Every structure is written in C-alpha cells, then in structure tokens.
Amino acid sequence: MHFIFRKLQIYYPVNLLAQSSRFSVGFFFLFLLFAIRVPGAPTLPVLGQPPPTYSLNDCLQLALERNPEILKAQKDIERTQGLVITAKSTLYPQISTNGRIETRNDDLFSQGTDPTIQQFRDFWVVQLIATQSLYSGGINRQQIAIAKLQHQNSMIQFQATVDNVLKSVKYGVYAIVVAQAQMVAQQQSIDLLVKQEAQQKALFDAGRTTKFNVLRVQVNIGNQKSILYQTQDNLTAAQIALTRLLNIPWQRKASPFNPPFSVQENLVCPPVGNIKVEDLIALAMSRRPELQVLDHQIDIAERQVKIDKAALVPRVDAYVSDQALRDQSVNSFDQSVNSYAVGLLGSWNIFDGFASKGATMSDTATLGTAHISRDQMGLQVQSEVREAFARLLTAQQTVQAQAATVKTAEQSVGLAQLSADTGYATLLDVLQATLDLTDARIQEIQTKQQYLDALADLEKAISLKFVDWKKDGVISDSSTPPTIVPSPLATPPAATH
C-alpha cells in the first residue's frame, strides 16, 4: 500500500503540472519530497551490516529516488521554470539606474564666454529610468507561450524518462532473477549427475560396468559446471548493471560476487486477458510522452515563425526618467538640478537586409521537420505496441507449452533411471534424459523472462503508470487517488475470474 500511494504522489503532480502552468516547480518537488519520505521505503546498504534484499517494487522505488537520469530530468524542470520567469519579465517595467562622475579639463571651456560654467571642472550625474514595453508586434506574447511550452515539455519528458528507467530496472531485475533460477536448475542437474557418478563408480568397483561409463558421467559434470560458471558471470554483470541504475555504489574492497544488495522476485507470468491490439494502440497514441513533446514542438515552431514575421513590425516602449546632476551655476559640488522626462520610444526595422525573411524560411522548414517527426513517431509507437503485444502473446503460449515439457522431462528422467536399473536402458539414455530435463528447465525460465520483458515493453509503449490487467481486456489507468488500482510497477496481477 505504501508503494502504491508513493507512486501516486510522484505521478499525480506531474500530470497536473503538464496540464496547467499555474503550478510551480516548488509545488511539484514538495509532493516529490513528501513521496520520498513515505514510511516503509527500502533501506540503503550499510557498511558492516548484511546486504538488504530488494523486491522488484523496492528496486523501482529506489530508481525513482536515486536514478541519475530521473534526477537530471527534475533539474531540467527547474531550468525551464526559469525560462518562463525570464519570458514573463517583458510584462513588467524595467527599472535601471546609472551614474557618472568626472573631472574635466579646463581646455574644454577655454572658448566659452559664460564664467559660471568655466569656473568648475568637476561634474556628476545620476539617472533613474523605467521602461515598459507597450507593443512588440506579438513577440512578447509568443515568447512567453514558447517558454511555457518548453516547461511543459520538460515535465512530459520527465515522464518519458521515468518510463525508460523503470523499463530498464525491470529488465535488470528479471535478468538477475533468471540467472539465479538458471543456476538452481543447473545445480540440480549437477546433483543428478553426481549421484549417477557415484552409482557408476560403485558398479565399476563391483565389475559390472566399464571405466568408460564413469568417465562419460564425469565429462557431463564438467560441462554442466562450465555452464554454471558462465551463468554466474551473467548474474554478476546483471547485478553490476542494476547497481548503476539504482545509483548504489559497490564497495571498493568488496568481492565481485558480493553485491551491495540481493534481489528476490518470483517469475510469475500473469495472463493479460482478451485485449485487442487496436485498444492498446489507441491508448499509446493518447498517452506516449514523446508524442506530446512533438506536439508542443510543433506549437513552438509555429510561434517562432510568428516571431520572425513580427521582426518588421514597429515596437513601442514607454519610459520615465529622473535625472539629478550637479548645478554648474553655483560654486558647490553638493548642489544639484533635477530633470524629469516622460515619453514614448518607437523603433521600426524598415529593412533588415532580408534577415527576418531568412529566419522565417529557416523556422518554417523546422516546422515542417517537426510535422514529419510527429508522423514518424506515431508510426514508431504503433510498431512498438504491435511488436511488444505479439511477443507477449507468443511468449504466453510458449510458457504454457514449456511447463508441460518440463513435467514430461521429469517423468522421462525417472523412467530412464528405472529402465537402466532393470537393464532396459543404457547409461547414455539416462544422461541424455538428465540433460534434456536441464534444457527444458532453462528454456522454461528463459521463456518466462521473454514474457516479462515483453510485458515491460508493452507497459512502456503505452506509458502506463497505474494499471489493472483484467480478464475482460479493460485497462484501468488513473492519476486520481480514489481510483488507484494495484501498481503496474510490480508484475501485474493475474486476471480475475
């Protein structure tokens, strides 16, 4: 429950912020900070204490807190919030002050006739100016809109980053769990071969078999141990990759086979029910952050073209100035004269050497590229959904078939051993049945990994945050607290009957 509520606190403000720019970054990170401090969060490894054991949910939660890509995406939200503030500055008066103090050369006034001016060499002036943009041909308004779109893009891109990171974490956890399960299956095969070796040695000592049979069993044991060691290397590589995703450092003096944490998760393949691929594609087209980002980029490009065209439109600014300078008619450095000015300042680029025309052509081409990229991404999203869904259905059938194959292989080993004991089978038959059982178990584990990887790809392709895989094919995904269902960040629950 803590994990589900925690994910709600992370995604709920993101969705709201993406819809309205009235929410500040401070509000977003206030929710994020509250989510991080939810009780029951997984603890980090502590030097000198046993390494903690993480489930898939624990790893996903740590990734949301510690993954560098997610942290950089959060900083990008702050950066774009600053762009919005900068763009809005054109709506407010700009106030500046300047001053000058100087000592003049008498030669400057040698030709003058006014003795009061020639009398003083020192001069100073202080000026306060306030300007306000009144009309800019729509440039200010478009720049503010562009900054807001960039801010919204950063928040949408944050969701895309989260999707990618969670998918990678799922892959990493499944790789570790699969390697561990394969090592168990291979060890079981080695144990069977060791028993067979002891039996063949006993028969050889009794003179009932040849040395060849003993050597054959030993060769098979050596081969299985080599495969086991290779699987151990795969497990170590998967553990190192997962520590990078979770940003958990590996102790420098620690052995490569002693990771800072262990992973424990069941390889359960829940059925997804009767879901139509067109429904999944419709969800993906409406939810994928990459498509929303490209939509905003098209809007930004359109507004940039308007800014380019407005470069030849007159600009009007209002200004107010207050100036205090030394009164040079009296012999006193402290005496000053004040002057005020209020007016309008207009500017008009009548001819800019076709600079605005070139900028308009360039940004129009950028707009066309954005439209092409949007269409291309739409096709890519559809392809990702179809491919993941096809692999999921294929893996589902393979898992069911392979489970039956494992049961048959187990029966085959028992019958081969019984037949060998009664003289109806040879040692080669027993060894082959044992190896077939090992291959069947490993193949079953690999098909489960393929299924879970395909399920992770499908969730990422649709950008699902909260999902319930139901028997009738209805996918529920919501960001509001009352309708939250079991978190999809863990393995989705089995179909309800």
Residues 185/177, Cβ–Cβ less than 8 Å: no
Whole-angstrom distance, CA of residue 77 vs CA of residue 137: 29
Confidence of residue 300 (pLDDT cuts 50, 70, 90): very high
Taking alpha carbons only, the member of 54, 263, 174 closest to residue 453 is: 174
215-261, pLDDT tens digit by residue? 888 898 899 899 999 999 999 999 999 999 999 988 877 787 888 89
Taking alpha carbons only, the member of 33, 125, 27, 43 closest to residue 81 is: 27
Confidence of residue 378 (pLDDT cuts 50, 70, 90): very high
Q: 44-92+139-312+353-483 domain in CATH 3.40.50.300?
A: no
Phi-psi region of 207 (alpha: psi -120 to 50; beta: other; left: phi over 0): left
Strands (E), 231-330: 262-263, 315-326
Considering only 4-18, 226-240, 370-384, which range has the smallest mean pLDDT? 4-18
User: Which tokens is 306 given?
Assistant: 């308007």
Whole-angstrom distance, CA of residue 333 vs CA of residue 323: 16
Domain ranges of the chain: 44-92+139-312+353-483, 93-135+314-347
Whether the per-residue pLDDT at 415 is higher than 80: the answer is yes
Q: Determine the pLDDT at residue 327.
A: 77
Q: Determine the pLDDT at residue 466.
A: 47
461-489, pLDDT tens digit by residue? 988 754 555 444 444 443 332 222 223 33
3-state helix, strand, coil split of the chain in percent (to 5) is: 65, 10, 25
Bridge partner list, 347:
315
Q: Which CATH class for the 93-135+314-347 domain?
A: mainly beta
Whole-angstrom distance, CA of residue 352 vs CA of residue 20: 38
User: Which tokens is 355 given?
Assistant: 């600079």
Average pLDDT over residues 451-459: 89
262-290, pLDDT tens digit by residue? 898 888 887 776 778 888 898 899 889 99
Residues 467/477, Cβ–Cβ less than 8 Å: yes
Residue type at 275 in one-letter notation = I
Q: Determine the pLDDT at residue 373.
A: 92
* Whole-number percent of the chain with pLDDT over 90: 30
Q: Determine the pLDDT at residue 204.
A: 85
Residues 135/315, Cβ–Cβ less than 8 Å: yes
> What value does the mean pLDDT of the chain take?
79
Rounded alpha-carbon distances, angstroms, from residue 393 to 343, 400, 428 = 74, 11, 37
